[in-house]
A and B are shown apart, each in its own frame.
Chain A
């Protein structure tokens, strides 16, 4: 069926359309540097989207929960075996993406007789000098590195809108997490609606959906630097959008 090259190219193209369609309803994921480290934020209707992966590494995911779970397990195993057999300092986001996830995701994308991963992933790492290192991985295996902040959104226009707003932010790395949380939530909303609808959208979101936050914090004692943002912190930091 796919013997002729053009048929294969067409099938891959169809698959891209299919994946973009599947991801349309996915909730954006935001990562921003802050004074304490790296803040991750998303909003869900119940399914967890932010995960601790290793001592200084966290994952944010949008897409099909079963696919996210499969890939999460792949990098959990890879990270822990590497950390045990070599050293925790040898476990880096770059190695996990470049040698672990990206080849597997690309292969699944191009093997058109099998189902692709319906995902977009964000991997955040507190570097060895506590600098933020961020990676995004697309369903086709393409990955990018950033140090300023990352927006994962469902479609290109929303991503561009939120990224433009992110670039205009007053240096988040120099501000405390409480302040950056508000920015991240606004960017999340821009990943779903246009600027004029942000306020209304956030008010509705706070009533109906669950805000999820994670922090890779340089100040946490011990080797594990990830913690979830607590419900009371979220309540305190989202007061301007809640009715009571």
Chain B
């Protein structure tokens, strides 16, 4: 009582993060069932804050399991977690985090610091190491939040063992991320304006193009499926909180700025 640690409270009830004792190779359970995984996620700073985006595809081996997965999850009013890796573990981590931050605020009567929030996710990843090294529960998330101390958004990315890194300008993760990481580097280094100088509309266009690029080269990343109204999830974070870019805006910008280019 009194420490405001929800994960410890959960553990007193016998809770563990994910199943234990499974052995595995190549994303399969011991009896051969494929494990669902995912993705391309990205975050970058733009003129109005931080933008976080993710595609919608979840795959198991070469099978597309789901094309409407929401991988950019609100954790609180000013923080989101974008998930890459095994959804079962990643969604559970997001749920634990969401409850942890609320529980801390309500029990300690103050917000958990951003450093505390960043470390909480790191601790969950460390608790998940046995699953990650067996290859069936690896998660490499991005965490982005508004920092009231410096009055700007910040981006953190993690490896599957829980090491945390701050992305000064941007971060990418997931199987489709290597390609777009290079694009973001190029944009920052040689384009007329760095990503952080883009207004929101251009930032959203860039995010749509990056995810289309990732989908072009990575089978585990889903592209836009306009006929089914499936678009990436794109959210912005600033002092006003987390806001999702509405579907009609994505639809319009996609139509105007993403399709119909050269090829």
A residues contacting B by CB (< 8 A) are 48, 51-55, 73, 76-77, 80-81, 83-85, 221-222, 224
Q: How far is B109's CA from A52's CA once the two chains are assembled, in angstroms?
A: 9
Beyond A76-B103, A221-B241, whether A84 also contacts B109 by CB under 8 A is no
Q: Are A224 and B2 in contact (CB under 8 A)?
A: no
Residues of A within 8 A of B99 (CB): 80, 83-84
**Interface assignment of B105: CB less than 8 Å from any CB of chain A:** yes
Further 5 A-B residue pairs, CB within 8 A, beyond A51-B106, A80-B99, A80-B103: A73-B1, A81-B10, A221-B77, A221-B241, A224-B102
> How near does chain B come to A65, taking the closest CB pair, in angstroms?
13
Residues of A within 8 A of B76 (CB): 222
Q: How far is B10's CA from A11's CA once the two chains are assembled, in angstroms?
A: 39
**Interface assignment of B74: CB less than 8 Å from any CB of chain A:** yes
Beyond A81-B13, A84-B95, whether A76 also contacts B77 by CB under 8 A is no
Shortest 5 CB-CB contacts between residues of A and residues of B:
A80-B103, A84-B99, A52-B106, A73-B1, A222-B77
Q: Are B13 and A76 in contact (CB under 8 A)?
A: no
Pick from A48, A52, A84, A222: contact of B74, CB under 8 Å = A222
B:24-39 near A, CB below 8 Å = none
Residues of B within 8 A of A83 (CB): 99
Q: Are B10 and A84 in contact (CB under 8 A)?
A: yes
Q: How far is B106's CA from A84's CA once the two chains are assembled, in angstroms?
A: 15
Beyond A84-B99, A221-B241, whether A77 also contacts B106 by CB under 8 A is no
Kindly report which residue of chain B lies nearest to residue A72, judged by CB atoms: B107
Residues of A within 8 A of B163 (CB): none
Q: Are A48 and B109 in contact (CB under 8 A)?
A: yes
B residues contacting A by CB (< 8 A) are 1-2, 6, 9-10, 13, 74, 76-77, 95-96, 99, 102-103, 105-107, 109, 241
Q: How far is B100's CA from A81's CA once the two chains are assembled, in angstroms?
A: 11
Residues of A within 8 A of B106 (CB): 51-54, 76, 80
Residues of B within 8 A of A55 (CB): 102
Q: Are B77 and A73 in contact (CB under 8 A)?
A: no
Pick from B10, B74, B96, B107: contact of A76, CB under 8 Å = B107
Residues of A within 8 A of B107 (CB): 73, 76
Residues of B within 8 A of A221 (CB): 77, 241
> How near does chain B come to A202, taking the closest CB pair, in angstroms?
27
Residues of A within 8 A of B103 (CB): 76, 80
Residues of A within 8 A of B1 (CB): 73, 77
Residues of A within 8 A of B74 (CB): 222
> How near does chain A come to B95, taking the closest CB pair, in angstroms?
7
Kindly report which residue of chain B lies nearest to residue A77, judged by CB atoms: B9
Q: How far is B3's CA from A77's CA once the two chains are assembled, in angstroms?
A: 12
Name 9 A/B residue pairs within 8 A (Cβ), A-sorted: A48-B109, A73-B1, A80-B99, A81-B13, A84-B95, A84-B96, A221-B77, A221-B241, A222-B241
Q: How far is B6's CA from A32's CA once the two chains are assembled, in angstroms?
A: 31
Q: Are A52 and B105 in contact (CB under 8 A)?
A: yes
> How near does chain B come to A62, taking the closest CB pair, in angstroms?
18
> How near does chain A come to B2, taking the closest CB pair, in angstroms?
7
Q: How far is B4's CA from A80's CA once the two chains are assembled, in angstroms?
A: 11
Q: How far is B2's CA from A83's CA once the two chains are assembled, in angstroms?
A: 19
Residues of A within 8 A of B96 (CB): 84
Q: How far is B104's CA from A73's CA once the two chains are assembled, in angstroms?
A: 11
> How near does chain A come to B229, taking the closest CB pair, in angstroms?
23
> How near does chain A come to B124, taking the closest CB pair, in angstroms?
14
Residues of A within 8 A of B109 (CB): 48, 51
Q: How far is B108's CA from A48's CA once the two chains are assembled, in angstroms?
A: 12
> How near does chain B come to A107, taking the closest CB pair, in angstroms?
18
Most buried by A among B9, B105, B241: B9
Q: Are B10 and A73 in contact (CB under 8 A)?
A: no
Q: How far is B5's CA from A80's CA once the two chains are assembled, in angstroms?
A: 11
Kindly report which residue of chain B lies nearest to residue A54, judged by CB atoms: B106
Most buried by B among A48, A52, A73, A76: A76
> How near does chain B come to A203, taking the closest CB pair, in angstroms?
30
Residues of A within 8 A of B9 (CB): 77, 80-81
Q: Are A73 and B102 in contact (CB under 8 A)?
A: no
Q: How far is B105's CA from A55's CA once the two chains are assembled, in angstroms?
A: 12
Kindly report which residue of chain A lies nearest to residue B9, judged by CB atoms: A77
Residues of B within 8 A of A80 (CB): 6, 9, 99, 102-103, 106
